[in-house]
Amino acid sequence: MPTPLLTTKLYLPPARPTLVPRPRLTTRVSEGLTRPLTLISAPAGFGKTTLVSEWRATEAGRNVPLGWLSLDDDDNDAARFLTYLIAALATLQPGLGGATRALLESPQPPPAQAILTNLINDLNQVMGLALSADDVRALESRTEGWIAGLQLAALSMHGLADRANFIAAFTGSHHYIVDYLAEEVLSRQSETVRTFLLQTSILDRLTAPLCNTLTGRADGQATLEAIEQANLFVIPLDDERRWYRYHHLFADVLRNRLGQLHPDRLPDLHRLAAQWLEHAALFEDAVQHAMAAEDYEFAARLIAGITRKVLERESVSVTARWLNGLPKPLVFSHPVLSIDYAWVLAFSGNFDEVEPALQLIEKAMRGESSTPEGISFRNLLDGDPAALSQTVGGAPTRSRLPAIIDLVRAFVERFRDPQKAKMYCERALQQIPVEDKRDHSTALVFLGHALLLNGEAARAEHVLLDAIREGRSLNIHSVYLSAVNYLAQQFVLQGKLREAMALLSEAARYVEAQPEPILAGIERIRLGDIQREWNDLTAASENISQGVRQAESGGDFIFLFTTGQF
């Protein structure tokens, strides 16, 4: 499923008409175009974005193709960041990076190196205050060149006759300057505007219907446009003025003020935001606000509907953060959340914690748990309409869950007790419904690896070949490439280098069309190792180096070890 994108993150805010021209700085930006990389570095609020916007408005800036990407804390994830990077580049050339986007939608976390290689190939193909000089110097000294502080000061001085005394009394560190000036700015706004600013400050991105939901009014669009014209630190995120954001520092101040003045309103505001975002199908943002509201039942319902998709397209870190933020009884009251929590523990290498989690799930399945969460779990599993209505994603069927539990156990036991892992895989294969191809092919990969570790090489080869065929025909990249890696590793150990080379070469061709990057890095390492055995050291060095870079940049590096790929 394609990752939903917020196009507002791809919009460069325009230069303000009241901006003081800074030709020396814009010239420096233009000079940077002759170099591979230009870094504009300064603390928050010093005007980095403003400088780029100003440069973009110059003749030199207008003649340069430009993509823009605004980042926030949620983008500290390799797959999410690279997806948005590709989208930003695609604004310059529609369709650019299509193959790379497909790579990012694959089940396992992709390595940055493989994605950047695809991208480089694509790119290669498409190629008003009347202040005295003393006042200015004093204000510069007070703000230490902090442009955000200067703008706040200017707003506060509108209508003041004695500006010199205002500046003279204006002291303190950046933190206190912001608090002081924001208080002055807010106090000069109408009650209507001030209330709007505070109530909407919880949002990372603002749009009129969402603002109306939070304020209970119908003037969201007019208010957003008015405060933009008043330079109240609101930045448009698209040309149509549908989406905005507050300057990060101003938003921080507003949130602090809201927390001081109306702490009791915060949960309700976050809950309203979550409800609106859910209806707008912005589920991940909705989860963020539901968690902030500490409405964990609501958050759990949202997470249950999207956690599998998030697990498949990104690293386990996002799902882990969500599930760890929920009360554990709530996690274990839901079949989807509880089994995904067990997978997260396994993928993260927390093997000792997996079995207790699975035992809780099995106890609830058998109806042996009298706890509220156990009863809720059983109701969901039995398909109680009242219970199922509380979840977006529904619940695993009773026929599927035992097989999934066996697969989790097999994953954990492969290195500890391969014989036991083999037993779990064989039992899972007997229980998996015929129509569930993904679980069936996954069980084949796990079984093949367990057989290798158990010394049953001949049978393992047959099982892994079945997994390769099934994964290839069903287009399940992770299954196909995992099976290739396990079997190629075994061929190398047996001295069957030509067979291993043939297998890996075919997989390399497959990766070019339908890449699965984190596993592709391991394949390239194995390919290089065979070339080393054949004394083709130049090719070996190139493949091993590239494979290591791919594997290391793939996100969850621990995943390579917990799956036995590396």
Answer yes or no: are the C-beta atoms of 281 and 222 closer than 8 Å. no
Strand partners, 206: 244
Instruction: Please list, residue by residue across 222-251, b when 16 or more beta carbons sit within 10 angstroms of its beta carbon and e when fewer do.
Output: ebbeebbeeebbbbbbeeeebbbbbbebbb
Question: 254-265, pLDDT tens digit by residue?
Answer: 898 899 899 999
Most confidently modeled range among 136-140, 406-410, 490-494, 525-529: 406-410
What is the pLDDT of the chain when averaged over all its residues?
79
Strands 234-236 vs 206-207: parallel, antiparallel or unpaired: unpaired
Cβ atoms of 421 and 450 within 8 Å: the answer is yes
Give residue 61's pLDDT band: very low, low, confident or very high (50, 70, 90).
Answer: confident
Residue 151 in this model has a pLDDT that exceeds 90:
no
Beta bridge partners of residue 243, listed in sequence order: 207
Highest mean pLDDT: which of 74-78, 224-228, 396-400? 224-228
CB 72 within 8 A of CB 99: no
Provide the residue ranges of all domains of the chain, joining segments of one domain with +: 7-126, 133-260, 295-388, 445-562
**Tokens describing residue 259:** 């927390």
User: According to the model, what pLDDT value does residue 286 have?
Assistant: 95
φ/ψ of 239, rounded to 5, equals -70, -25
- Reported as a single tens digit per residue, the pLDDT across 494-524 is 888 899 888 888 887 776 655 445 556 777 7
Residue matched to tokens 């440069």: 55
pLDDT digits (tens, 9 = 90+) for 464-485: 999 999 988 888 777 888 899 8
Rg (CA), the chain: 28
DSSP letter for 234, please: E
Q: Are 212 and 275 in contact (CB under 8 A)?
A: no
Question: Other CB atoms closer than 10 Å to residue 195's CB: what's the count?
Answer: 14
Contacts (Cβ under 8 Å, ≥6 apart) of 165: none
Instruction: Give every strand in the sheet of 243-246, ordered side by side.
Output: 206-207, 243-246, 234-236
Residue 174 CB neighbours (<10 A): 16
φ, ψ at 206 (rounded to 5°)? -115, 140
Of 205-219, 312-326, 431-445, 491-505, which range is least confident?
Answer: 312-326
pLDDT at res. 421: 94
Burial classification of residue 255, based on how many CB atoms lie within 10 Å of its CB (0-12 exposed, 13-18 middle, 19 or more buried): middle
DSSP three-state, residue 245: strand
Q: Which residue has the tokens 């679980």?
A: 439
Poorest-confidence range of 310-314, 485-489, 537-541? 310-314
Q: Which of 17-26, 271-280, 492-501 has the lowest mean pLDDT?
A: 17-26
pLDDT value for 354: 92
pLDDT in tens, 12-22: 888 877 777 88
Q: Which residues, 6 or more positions from 348, have their beta carbon under 8 angstroms from its beta carbon?
A: 316, 320, 558, 562
What's the pLDDT score for residue 413?
Answer: 93
**Cβ proximity of 302 and 25 under 8 Å:** no
**What is the residue whose two structure tokens read 């070890």?**
561
445-562 carries CATH number 3.20.20.70 = no
539, 497 contact by CB (below 8 A): no
Q: Which of 299-313, 375-389, 530-544 has the lowest mean pLDDT?
A: 375-389
DSSP string, 463-481: HHHHHHHHHHHHT-HHHHH
